[in-house]
Amino acid sequence: MEYNDEIFREQFPIVKAFLYHLTCYRELHRTYEDLNLKSEFWTYTIDAHLLQACILWCMVFGSHGCNPTHWKKLGDQERIKLENSFREGLYKNTELTQEKWDAYWKEMNDFRGGYAAHRELNYSKPVPLFKGAEEVAYYYDTWIREIIEPDIFEELPLQESVSLMQKEIRPLAMLYLSEIKLIKANTEHL
Protein backbone atom coordinates (compact mmCIF):
# COMPACT_ATOMS: atom_id res chain seq x y z
CA MET A 1 0.00 0.00 0.00
CA GLU A 2 1.24 3.51 -0.74
CA TYR A 3 2.12 5.59 2.30
CA ASN A 4 3.85 8.85 3.10
CA ASP A 5 7.27 7.84 4.40
CA GLU A 6 7.94 11.34 5.77
CA ILE A 7 4.90 11.07 8.05
CA PHE A 8 5.81 7.51 8.99
CA ARG A 9 9.33 8.59 9.99
CA GLU A 10 7.82 11.09 12.43
CA GLN A 11 4.85 9.00 13.51
CA PHE A 12 6.48 5.76 14.58
CA PRO A 13 8.94 7.38 17.03
CA ILE A 14 6.00 9.24 18.61
CA VAL A 15 4.17 5.96 19.24
CA LYS A 16 7.39 4.47 20.65
CA ALA A 17 7.91 7.52 22.88
CA PHE A 18 4.32 7.18 24.12
CA LEU A 19 5.03 3.61 25.23
CA TYR A 20 8.32 4.60 26.83
CA HIS A 21 6.70 7.40 28.85
CA LEU A 22 3.86 5.11 29.86
CA THR A 23 6.36 2.46 30.96
CA CYS A 24 8.38 5.01 32.92
CA TYR A 25 5.22 6.21 34.63
CA ARG A 26 4.12 2.69 35.55
CA GLU A 27 7.50 1.53 36.83
CA LEU A 28 8.23 4.71 38.78
CA HIS A 29 4.71 4.84 40.20
CA ARG A 30 4.82 1.19 41.28
CA THR A 31 8.17 1.66 43.02
CA TYR A 32 7.07 4.95 44.59
CA GLU A 33 3.97 3.25 46.02
CA ASP A 34 5.88 0.14 47.13
CA LEU A 35 8.35 2.29 49.06
CA ASN A 36 5.54 4.43 50.50
CA LEU A 37 7.57 7.47 49.50
CA LYS A 38 6.27 11.00 49.92
CA SER A 39 8.07 13.46 47.66
CA GLU A 40 6.61 16.39 45.78
CA PHE A 41 9.48 16.25 43.28
CA TRP A 42 8.90 12.58 42.47
CA THR A 43 5.13 13.01 42.35
CA TYR A 44 5.48 15.71 39.70
CA THR A 45 8.18 13.75 37.85
CA ILE A 46 6.12 10.57 37.76
CA ASP A 47 2.93 12.41 36.74
CA ALA A 48 4.81 14.23 33.96
CA HIS A 49 5.48 10.89 32.27
CA LEU A 50 1.76 10.09 32.19
CA LEU A 51 0.81 13.54 30.90
CA GLN A 52 3.45 13.33 28.18
CA ALA A 53 2.26 9.83 27.26
CA CYS A 54 -1.26 11.17 26.76
CA ILE A 55 -0.09 14.06 24.61
CA LEU A 56 2.05 11.78 22.44
CA TRP A 57 -0.74 9.21 22.00
CA CYS A 58 -3.11 11.95 20.88
CA MET A 59 -0.60 13.21 18.30
CA VAL A 60 -1.07 9.96 16.40
CA PHE A 61 -4.48 8.66 17.51
CA GLY A 62 -6.33 11.80 18.67
CA SER A 63 -7.95 14.52 16.56
CA HIS A 64 -6.72 14.21 13.01
CA GLY A 65 -7.54 17.72 11.78
CA CYS A 66 -4.58 19.57 13.22
CA ASN A 67 -2.13 16.70 13.79
CA PRO A 68 0.18 16.18 10.80
CA THR A 69 1.42 12.97 12.44
CA HIS A 70 -2.05 11.41 12.80
CA TRP A 71 -2.33 7.82 11.53
CA LYS A 72 -4.99 8.83 8.99
CA LYS A 73 -2.51 11.13 7.25
CA LEU A 74 -0.21 8.28 6.21
CA GLY A 75 -1.78 7.98 2.80
CA ASP A 76 -3.34 10.45 0.42
CA GLN A 77 -3.96 8.16 -2.53
CA GLU A 78 -5.46 5.25 -0.61
CA ARG A 79 -6.76 7.10 2.44
CA ILE A 80 -10.08 5.25 2.74
CA LYS A 81 -8.45 1.85 2.28
CA LEU A 82 -5.84 2.76 4.89
CA GLU A 83 -8.47 3.92 7.41
CA ASN A 84 -10.58 0.82 6.86
CA SER A 85 -7.63 -1.53 7.30
CA PHE A 86 -6.63 0.17 10.56
CA ARG A 87 -10.11 0.14 12.04
CA GLU A 88 -11.01 -3.37 10.94
CA GLY A 89 -7.75 -4.73 12.32
CA LEU A 90 -8.06 -2.74 15.53
CA TYR A 91 -11.51 -4.16 16.26
CA LYS A 92 -10.42 -7.65 15.30
CA ASN A 93 -7.14 -7.69 17.27
CA THR A 94 -8.12 -5.81 20.43
CA GLU A 95 -11.07 -5.77 22.79
CA LEU A 96 -12.27 -2.55 21.17
CA THR A 97 -15.45 -2.27 19.14
CA GLN A 98 -16.50 0.83 17.19
CA GLU A 99 -18.57 2.02 20.17
CA LYS A 100 -15.81 1.30 22.70
CA TRP A 101 -13.23 2.98 20.46
CA ASP A 102 -15.38 6.11 20.08
CA ALA A 103 -15.91 6.36 23.85
CA TYR A 104 -12.26 5.66 24.68
CA TRP A 105 -10.99 8.05 22.01
CA LYS A 106 -13.20 10.80 23.47
CA GLU A 107 -11.99 10.05 27.00
CA MET A 108 -8.32 10.29 25.98
CA ASN A 109 -8.85 13.45 23.93
CA ASP A 110 -10.85 15.09 26.71
CA PHE A 111 -8.07 14.33 29.19
CA ARG A 112 -5.43 15.66 26.80
CA GLY A 113 -7.37 18.83 25.99
CA GLY A 114 -8.82 19.43 29.44
CA TYR A 115 -5.86 18.56 31.63
CA ALA A 116 -2.63 17.29 30.04
CA ALA A 117 -1.98 19.87 27.32
CA HIS A 118 -4.32 22.63 28.46
CA ARG A 119 -6.03 23.17 31.77
CA GLU A 120 -9.75 23.61 32.10
CA LEU A 121 -10.79 25.27 35.32
CA ASN A 122 -12.11 22.68 37.76
CA TYR A 123 -11.34 19.73 35.48
CA SER A 124 -12.65 16.77 37.44
CA LYS A 125 -12.89 13.80 35.08
CA PRO A 126 -10.86 10.77 36.14
CA VAL A 127 -7.55 9.94 34.51
CA PRO A 128 -8.25 7.45 31.71
CA LEU A 129 -6.96 3.92 32.03
CA PHE A 130 -4.07 3.67 29.60
CA LYS A 131 -4.46 -0.05 28.87
CA GLY A 132 -6.58 0.80 25.82
CA ALA A 133 -4.05 3.32 24.54
CA GLU A 134 -1.32 0.73 24.97
CA GLU A 135 -3.35 -1.86 23.02
CA VAL A 136 -3.88 0.64 20.20
CA ALA A 137 -0.14 1.40 20.07
CA TYR A 138 0.79 -2.28 19.92
CA TYR A 139 -1.78 -2.89 17.23
CA TYR A 140 -0.42 0.12 15.29
CA ASP A 141 3.04 -1.49 15.40
CA THR A 142 1.74 -4.67 13.76
CA TRP A 143 -0.43 -2.76 11.30
CA ILE A 144 2.24 -0.28 10.19
CA ARG A 145 4.70 -3.07 9.43
CA GLU A 146 2.11 -4.53 7.05
CA ILE A 147 1.36 -1.12 5.51
CA ILE A 148 4.97 -0.34 4.66
CA GLU A 149 5.69 -3.73 3.05
CA PRO A 150 7.83 -4.43 1.09
CA ASP A 151 9.75 -1.69 2.92
CA ILE A 152 11.19 -2.64 6.27
CA PHE A 153 12.86 -0.82 9.10
CA GLU A 154 15.31 -2.07 11.67
CA GLU A 155 13.28 -1.55 14.78
CA LEU A 156 12.32 -4.14 17.34
CA PRO A 157 8.59 -4.76 17.73
CA LEU A 158 7.32 -2.28 20.29
CA GLN A 159 6.35 -4.96 22.81
CA GLU A 160 9.95 -6.16 22.82
CA SER A 161 11.24 -2.59 23.17
CA VAL A 162 8.94 -2.00 26.12
CA SER A 163 10.02 -5.25 27.74
CA LEU A 164 13.66 -4.17 27.49
CA MET A 165 12.75 -0.75 28.85
CA GLN A 166 11.02 -2.32 31.85
CA LYS A 167 14.10 -4.41 32.61
CA GLU A 168 16.19 -1.26 32.53
CA ILE A 169 13.90 1.07 34.48
CA ARG A 170 12.84 -1.27 37.32
CA PRO A 171 16.24 -1.53 39.00
CA LEU A 172 16.96 2.16 38.38
CA ALA A 173 13.64 3.21 39.88
CA MET A 174 14.25 1.04 42.93
CA LEU A 175 17.81 2.30 43.31
CA TYR A 176 17.01 6.00 43.03
CA LEU A 177 13.76 6.01 44.94
CA SER A 178 15.21 3.81 47.71
CA GLU A 179 18.08 6.26 48.00
CA ILE A 180 15.64 9.17 48.28
CA LYS A 181 13.76 7.33 51.01
CA LEU A 182 17.02 6.68 52.86
CA ILE A 183 18.10 10.32 52.55
CA LYS A 184 14.71 11.50 53.81
CA ALA A 185 14.89 9.11 56.77
CA ASN A 186 18.40 10.29 57.65
CA THR A 187 17.55 13.99 57.42
CA GLU A 188 14.42 13.62 59.56
CA HIS A 189 16.63 12.64 62.51
CA LEU A 190 18.72 15.83 62.30
Considering its fold, how many domains does the chain have in total? 1
Per-residue pLDDT tens over the stretch 12-66: 999 999 999 999 999 999 999 999 999 999 999 999 999 999 999 999 999 877 7
User: Is pLDDT of 190 > 70?
Assistant: no
Residue numbers of the domain that contains 115: 5-188
What share of the chain in percent tops pLDDT 90? 73
Looking at the whole model, is its pTM more than 0.85?
Answer: yes
- Residue 96: strand, helix, or coil: coil
**Contacts for 151 with CB less than 8 Å, ≥ 6 apart:** 5
Per-residue pLDDT tens over the stretch 112-124: 999 988 988 888 8
Q: What is the pLDDT of residue 182?
A: 87
Q: What is the pLDDT of residue 163?
A: 97
Q: What is the pLDDT of residue 160?
A: 97
Q: Which of 145, 152, 17, 144 is nearest to 72 (CA)?
A: 144
**Contacts for 10 with CB less than 8 Å, ≥ 6 apart:** 68, 69
Q: What is the pLDDT of residue 189?
A: 63
